[in-house]
Structure 1
């Protein structure tokens, strides 16, 4: 994967960049390790994670799991996940669609939620779900384009 900046380039197509960053965040989230994250000397009586049948059924070239993401990729993922918090209560459908599309299979890289599954879950058709996804990207673009989003001294009483 090519190295990326940790900031959106506002001289380029911003909605396209937001979409790319959302895609990358999903892949980074899927590649994070699911074991070995406890503090030292912390234990658990639970058995190790048993992989889904989807994981076992996936056709792949090797038995290796995805490589761990770089610190920069994790930083970008954190930034993208913070964007999800920018949605207001009236933009719940946008948030739900974007969150569902962030879930990616760790081996194949395919989305776990197809447009049809998302539409069924939300009680709509797949075209409307895709429209909500694009509208959600538009909301993110509008909100991250505001200079106070990137200010290091954001007022405490700012409301989105």
Structure 2
């Protein structure tokens, strides 16, 4: 830690700000990669929101029977293990999801593999934050090397950035 940064951290800590807020992020990401990183973060947020949305709800067919029926005594006493679900996303998060997933349409139709890669890579689990499709799994599904899939992902992000900019 150099002297100038140590003095600024000491001055900031004296004013009541925590150490985490005093340390500036490391400039490991170049200036050219920041829009790409922001785009990837938005796509991953959209994938997380998509997976956090409830997959059940009222359907027009079963509108009359909206109350659950207890089928056995075991179900009545809650002897079923509890399932942990992510919180339902807010309306603003759903709007951001719609906007970010709409960006995939910027990729031309003839390059549909790039759309699939970006869409699959955007799906992150809402509770753990893990990717549902790691690079190697995407590579095995597409029949390609995982490094090629990473390069195609970068190409898809570049196409979307040029279409948005």
TM range (shorter): 0.5 to 0.7
| Deviation for aligned residue 1:102 | 2.4
| Whole-angstrom distance in 1 between the partners of 2:155 and 2:39 | 12
Aligned residues, how many? 117
Indicate if the aligned counterparts of 2:40 and 2:122 stay in contact, CA closer than 8 A: no
Structure 2 residue aligned with 1:101: 121
Structure 2 residue aligned with 1:116: 136
Name the structure with the higher helix share.
Answer: 2
Question: Which runs of no fewer than 5 residues in structure 2 stay unpaired?
Answer: 1-32, 67-81
1:77 is aligned, of 97, 101, 105, to 97
Using a 3 Å threshold, how does the CA distance of structure 1 residues 141 and 37 change in structure 2: closer, same or farther? farther
Q: Which whole-Å deviations, capped at 9, do the CAs of 1:47-76 have from their partners, x for residues lacking one?
A: xxxxxxxxxxxxxxx953111111111001
Q: Name segments (4+ residues, structure 1) moved above 3 Å.
A: none
| Deviation for aligned residue 1:25 | 0.5
| Whole-angstrom distance in 1 between the partners of 2:65 and 2:155 | 44
1:13 is aligned, of 34, 51, 59, to 34
Question: Which runs of no fewer than 5 residues in structure 1 stay unpaired?
Answer: 1-11, 45-61, 146-160
Q: Which whole-Å deviations, capped at 9, do the CAs of 1:119-156 have from their partners, x for residues lacking one?
A: 111111001101111111111111011xxxxxxxxxxx
TM-score when normalising by structure 1: 0.65
Whichever of the two has the greater Rg, that structure is: 2
Indicate if the aligned counterparts of 2:47 and 2:123 stay in contact, CA closer than 8 A: yes
| Whole-angstrom distance in 1 between the partners of 2:131 and 2:142 | 17
Using a 3 Å threshold, how does the CA distance of structure 1 residues 137 and 42 change in structure 2: closer, same or farther? farther
Q: Please tell me whether residue 29 in structure 1 is matched to residue 86 in structure 2.
A: no
Structure 2 residue aligned with 1:41: 63
Two-structure CA RMSD over aligned residues (Å) = 2.4
